[in-house]
Structures are given as C-alpha cells and as structure tokens.
Structure 1
Amino acid sequence: MTKIFVTGATGLIGTKLTKRLLEEGYEVAGLTTSQNGKEKLQNAGVTPYVGDIFDYDTIDEAIGDFKPDVIMNEITDLKNVDMAANTKVRIEGTKNLVDAAIKHDVENMQSQSIAFVYEGGKGLATEETPLDYNATGDRKVTVDGVEGLEKETARIKNHVILRYGWLYGPGTWYGEDGMIYSQFKNGKVDMTDGVLSFIHIDDAVETAIQALNFETGTYNVADDDPVRGDAWADWYANQLNVSPEINIAPAEPFERGVSNKKFKAQGGTLIYPSWKDGMKDIK
C-alpha cells in the first residue's frame, strides 16, 4: 500500500484530501500543530503527527517514523491574509520538509502553489510564462514565496507542482460568509475587469489525487472558463440576489487568467468545468 504524508492535513484542502486518499486506499499520515488537530486526524483514520513546519527536528522525526512513499505539501498560512507569513511557510517550511524527505529517501513530492503570479502580457498565461519578477509590495512577497516553494520542491526527484487558480466553494473567500461573499452582501465591492481563472475546492482535492500519476513538472489547475472580473461580479451578485455598489477598475497587466491545457494533456479532469457550475447554488 502506498504511504502518503500530508502537511496542512487539518486545513481547508488537507481535511478533504486526507479523507479522499483514505477512500482511494492509501495509507495516510498527516501533520498538525495541535492536540486538537491530532484528535481530529485520529478520528478520521489518519496517522497523526504533531509538529511545527519551522522546526526541522519535528518534521525529520515524523518523516523518519512514517517513511512515506509520497509527500503532499498542502500547508499555507492565510488565516489573517498575511502574505509575509504565508511566504515564510512556503519558503522555510518547504525547505525543512524537503531536507527531511531527502534524508529519508523520499523520492516523490507534490506541492500546492498558485496560478496568479505570472508576469503581465496578452492572453492566458501558461506554465512557460515567467513569474512576475518585477512585482512590488505584497505581490512581490507572494511571488517570492511561490518561487521559493517551487525551487525547494524541485529538489525532489519526482515532483509535481500544482498552481491552483482562485479557489472557491465552502470555506473559501467566495463561499458563504467568506470575505468576497461578505463584500457583496454588505453592499460594496471593489475589483477590476481583469481575467479570473477559478477552481472549486473539490476539484483542487481531486486533481491533487489525479496528479499522483502525473509526470514530473508544473501544472496550472483551473477550470475551462476564464472570465472577466466585471462579468463575473454581475453574475455573482445576481446569484446572491443582491445589488451592491460594484466599482470596477482597469485590470493590471498580470490579471490575465491561465491555460489548463498542460493539466488536461496529463488526463486531468474536472468536476466543475466552469465556475458557473460550482457557484450556481450559492445564495
């Protein structure tokens, strides 16, 4: 039986992912930071390890004990929408994870990344499009985090990096009571007419499982329906049956959406080919 070690195992994606991996017949372990998380994993049938992604010794101990065939790196730090904290996790946390993996001869790793940090340009960005190295401010912090995570992950012999589009669904910014949802409900929305590429949280989970069989490389994971922000905002407001003040600013050059052709070429499939399918029941 293939053994899979999941970091961020009690997070939004991690909780769903560990459940689905068990259903698929894998032996699964998860990293959590608390006793409460440990109990949650135990109750779900996941082998729990309590550790700190910034404390190499705890990661080394967990990997050495479980001896996984595959590591799935799903850890993030977005609780307070703090880009610097999330970048620290991506760079330093992934380095600790990879160092431990190499020490214990783990040759397969998958990491969760993002698909909205490409440089500006015309048309949908592909995996060959450079990252936005000319970014400034919070965006530069985010780009630095993505670059660090992906460089560390690439130290593993067989690695897959999944660059997700904008996550939506229950528990996300676009789900009920999420940050974007609440802006529409509260009556004032500020956004641009840039192109958005979405991915449902359930598709993020399912494609992570599919990607266990992908060739080594980097893949954009987004639906088939890139959409301009202004068109999406009108549709979303209608779905919520609200009429907020929607202020649309001109798009930044990097707000261009992404192509999922490479993902599809590996046999990747989607539950929700369009955000309209996945958001249609939101109220």
Structure 2
Amino acid sequence: MTKIFVTGATGLIGTKLTKRLLEEGYEVAGFTTSDKGKEKLQNAGVTPYVGDIFDYDSIDAAIGDFKPDVILNEISDLKNVDMAANTKVRIEGTKNLVDVAIKHGVKSMQSQSIAFVYAGGEGLATEKTPLDYNATGDRKVTVEGVEGLEKETARIKNHVILRYGWLYGPGTWYGKDGMIYNQFVDGKVEMTDGVQSFIHIDDAVETAIQALNFETGTYNVADDDPVKGDVWADWYANQLGVSPEINIKPAEPFERGVSNEKFKAQGGKLIYSSWREGMKDIK
C-alpha cells in the first residue's frame, strides 16, 4: 500500500484531501501543529504527527517514523491574509520538508502552488510563461514565495507542482461568509476587469490525487472558463441576489488568466469545467 504524508493536513484542502486519499485506499499520515489537529486526524483515520514546519527536528521525527512513499505539501498561512507569513512558509517550510525527505530517501513529492503570479502579456499564461519578477509590494513577496517553494520542491527527483487558480467553494474567500462574499453582501466591491481563472476546492483535491500519476513537472490547474472581472462580478452579484456598488478598475498586465492544456494532456479531469457551475448554488 502506498504511504502518503500530507502537510497542512487540517487545512482547507488538507482536510478534504486526507479523507479522499483514505477512500482511494492509501495509507495516510497528516502533519498538524496542535493537539486539536491531532485529534481531528485521529478521528478521521489518519495517522497524526504534531510538529512545526519551521522545526526541522519535528519534521524529521514524523517522516522518519512514517516512512512515506510520497509527500503532499499542502501547507500555507493565509489566515490573516499576510503575504510575508505565507512566503516564509513556502520557502523555509518547504526547504525543511525537502531536506528531511532527501535524508529519508523519499523520491516523490507534490506541492500546492498558485497560477496568478505570471508576468504580464497577451493571452492566457502557460507553464512556460515566466513569473512576474518585476512585481512590487505584496505581489513581489508572493512571487518570491512561489519561486522558493517550487525550486525547493524540484530538488526531489519525482516532483509535481500544481499551480492552482483562484480557489472558490465552501470555506474560501468566495464561499458563504468569505471575504469576497462579504464585500458583495455588505454593498461595496472594488475589483479590476482583468481576466481570472478559477478552480473549485473539490477540484483542487481531486487534482492532487490525479497528479500522483502525472509526469514530473509544473501544471496550471484551473477551469476551462477564464473570465473578466466585471463580467464575473455582475454574475456573482446576481447569483447572491444583491446589488452592491461595484467599482471596476482597469486590469493590470498580469491579470491574464491561465491555460490548463498541459494539465488536461496528462489526463486531468475536472468536476466543474466552469465557475458558473461550481458557484451556482451559493446563497
């Protein structure tokens, strides 16, 4: 039986992913930061390990004990929308994880990344499009985090990097009581008319499982329906039955959406091919 070790196992993606991996017949361990998380994993049938992604020794103890075949790196830090904290997790945390993986001979690893840090240009970005190295401010911090995460992950021989589009669904910014949802309900929205590429949280989970069989490489994971911000905002407001003041600003050059052709060429399949399907039941 294949043994899979999941970091961020009690997070938004991790919670769903560990459950699905068990259903698929894998032996699953989860890395969490608290005793509460440990209890949650135990109750779900996941082998729990408590530690800190910044603490090499706690990762070493967990990996050394469980001896996984594959590591799925789903850890992030977006609780307070703090880009610097999330970048630190991506760079330093992933380095610790990879160092330990190499020490224990783990030859396969998958990391969760993002698909909205490409440089500006015409048309949809592909995996060959460079990252936005000319970015400034919080975006520069985010790009640096993605670059660090992906470089560290690539030290593992068999690695897959999944660059997700904007996550939506229950528990996300776009789900009920999420940050974006609340802006629409509260009556004042500011956004651009740039192109966005979305991915449902359930598709993010299923894709992570599918990608266990992908060739080594980097993949954009987004739906088939990139959409301009103004078009989406009108649709979303109508779906919620609200009439907020929507201030649409001109798009930034990097707001271009992404192509998912490489992902589909690997046999990747989506539950929701369009955000119109995945968001239609939100109220």
TM-score (norm 1): 1.00
Which residue number in structure 2 is paired with residue 174 of structure 1?
A: 174
Tell me the SS of whatever aligns to 1:19: helix
Q: Report how many residues are paired.
A: 283
Q: Which runs of 4+ in 1 moved over 4 A?
A: none
Q: Percent same amino acid at aligned positions?
A: 89
Question: What residue identity is the alignment partner of 1:249?
Answer: K
Q: Distance in 2 between matches of 1:41 and 1:240?
A: 34
Query: Which deviations, in whole Å up to 9, do the C-alpha atoms of 1:36-65 show, x marking residues without a partner?
Result: 000000000000000000000000110000
Tell me the SS of whatever aligns to 2:127: coil
Q: Distance in 2 between matches of 1:281 and 1:48?
A: 34
Question: What residue identity is the alignment partner of 2:124?
Answer: L
Tell me the SS of whatever aligns to 2:173: coil
Query: Which deviations, in whole Å up to 9, do the C-alpha atoms of 1:46-103 show, x marking residues without a partner?
Result: 0000000000000011000000000000000000000000000000000000000000
Q: What's the offset of the Cα at 1:281? A: 0.4
Q: Distance in 2 between matches of 1:281 and 1:43?
A: 30
Q: Spell out the pairing of 1:70-149 with structure 2 (5 A cutoff).
A: 70-149=70-149
Question: What residue identity is the alignment partner of 2:66?
Answer: F
Question: What residue identity is the alignment partner of 1:40?
Answer: K
Query: Which deviations, in whole Å up to 9, do the C-alpha atoms of 1:1-56 show, x marking residues without a partner?
Result: 00000000000000000000000000000000000000000000000000000000
Runs of at least 5 residues in structure 1 that lack an aligned partner in the other structure = none
Which residue number in structure 2 is paired with residue 218 of structure 1?
A: 218
Which residue number in structure 1 is paired with residue 272 of structure 2?
A: 272
Q: Distance in 2 between matches of 1:53 and 1:17?
A: 19
Which residue number in structure 1 is paired with residue 184 of structure 2?
A: 184
Tell me the SS of whatever aligns to 1:38: helix
Q: Spell out the pairing of 1:1-283 with structure 2 (5 A cutoff).
A: 1-283=1-283
Q: Distance in 2 between matches of 1:282 and 1:170?
A: 9
Q: What's the offset of the Cα at 1:154? A: 0.0
Tell me the SS of whatever aligns to 1:259: coil
Runs of at least 5 residues in structure 2 that lack an aligned partner in the other structure = none
Query: Which deviations, in whole Å up to 9, do the C-alpha atoms of 1:181-222 show, x marking residues without a partner?
Result: 000000000000000000000000000000000000000000
Q: What's the offset of the Cα at 1:237? A: 0.2
Q: Distance in 1 between matches of 2:10 and 2:281?
A: 26
